[in-house]
Amino acid sequence: MSSLASMVCGIAFRNPVLAASGTFGYGIEFEALADLNAMGGIVVKGLSREPIAGNPAPRLWEARAGMMNSVGLQNVGVRAFVAEKLPQLARFGVPVIANVFGYAAEDYVEVVRVLNDAPGLAAYELNVSCPNTKHGGIAFGVDEAALGALVAEVKAAAARPVIVKLSPNVAAIEPFARVAEQSGADAISLINTFIGLAIDVRTRGPRIGAGYGGLSGPAIKPIALRMVHQAAGAVKIPVIGIGGIHTGEDAAEFLLAGASLVEVGTATFWDPNAPVRIAAELGALLPELGVEKASELTGGYRRP
């Protein structure tokens, strides 16, 4: 639908609703459950230099208004992804974004260099919520200097647009959004999950194997909206909104807050076709909102 079409970072999206990283596998696993060709885009699960087995089970726990997870970034490694997964995604006419992570800047750079030579990718999304093990275990996303250095290094090596996925586990999001922009990011996406803990009172232990986990889903949506609005007001590059989106109206809220695109994650656990459904609901909502194109909503929030 032309009313939903978006152009972000030079990439044409048929609609502004993408499947988020970490909840949609490599995309191809959902071929029989969702209309991949109708999605705005697919952000594949995080890719590392070498395969990672992930955290001990249980890895997921259903909270009252969302979900906690601690998968541990399990993945096949970037080379296996390029050889085995990416060619299968080429069958679908949808932009594919590779989520990239590492434990030191050179890890990110190496993954991006491998991906540079692979056809069929639209952009890279950097997960900066990983511990920087060479500098005291601090996550890149909560240290401005580390974030800036990382983004600059990756941008220098990248042959495609670089999107930086920001952590919400900070006192203020605006400085990190600005650092990402100033260091060369083509866009930012937010938010990643909030660090949480769920305790089983009978065993007195954690409900997920790794202890702490990431909280996602409807419970975080109001905070995600606030942070997207703050980040969008701090930068001039495009913003991609993430956090608790499960209806077309939710997507519209994020666009009004300043997002150009949105990513849907947790909702795909109970509705694998959620990104397509949400895009259709957004399209049906546009006449009621008095606009012809979804892009006209971006940044339209009216302050009190």
Residue 251 lies inside a defined structural domain of this protein: yes
Catalytic residue among 111, 130, 242, 257: 130
Backbone angles phi, psi at 120, to 5 degrees: 95, 10
Structure tokens at 177: 């959004």
For the chain, how many structural domains are there in total? 1
Say how far residue 275 (Cα) sits from the centre of its chain.
Answer: 13
Question: The domain that contains 83 carries what CATH number?
Answer: 3.20.20.70
Q: Is residue 206 part of a domain?
A: no
Task: Answer whether 214's CB lies under 8 Å from 195's CB.
Answer: yes
201 assigned to some structural domain: no
Q: Taking the alpha carbons of 191, 192, 195, 199 in that order, is the dihedral positive or negative? A: positive
Other C-beta atoms lying within 10 Å of the C-beta of residue 223: 14
Would 161 be classed as within a structural domain?
yes
Please check whether residue 202 lies inside any domain of the structure. no
Rg (CA), the chain: 18
The boundaries of the domain holding residue 89 are 6-58+73-195+216-297
What's the pLDDT at 92?
94
The whole-angstrom separation of Cα 18 and Cα 12 is 12
Asked if omega into 237 is within 30° of 0 (cis), the reply is no
Within a domain: residue 245?
yes
* 280 in any annotated domain: yes
Q: Is residue 211 part of a domain?
A: no
Structure tokens given for 232? 């969008």
Place of tokens 């942070």: 227
Kindly compute the dihedral angle of the four CA atoms of residues 234, 176, 8, 228, in this order, to the nearest 10 degrees.
-60
Whole-number Å distance between alpha carbons of 170 and 153: 23
- pLDDT tens-place string over residues 157-194: 999 999 999 999 999 999 999 999 999 999 999 999 99
- Per-residue tens of pLDDT for the chain, all 304 residues: 689 999 999 999 999 999 999 999 999 999 999 999 999 999 999 999 999 999 999 999 999 999 999 998 999 999 999 999 999 999 999 999 999 999 999 999 999 999 999 999 999 999 998 877 777 778 999 999 999 999 999 999 999 999 999 999 999 999 999 999 999 999 999 999 999 999 999 999 999 999 999 999 999 999 999 999 999 999 999 999 999 999 999 999 999 999 999 999 999 999 999 999 999 999 999 999 999 999 999 999 998 8
* Known active-site residue 9: no
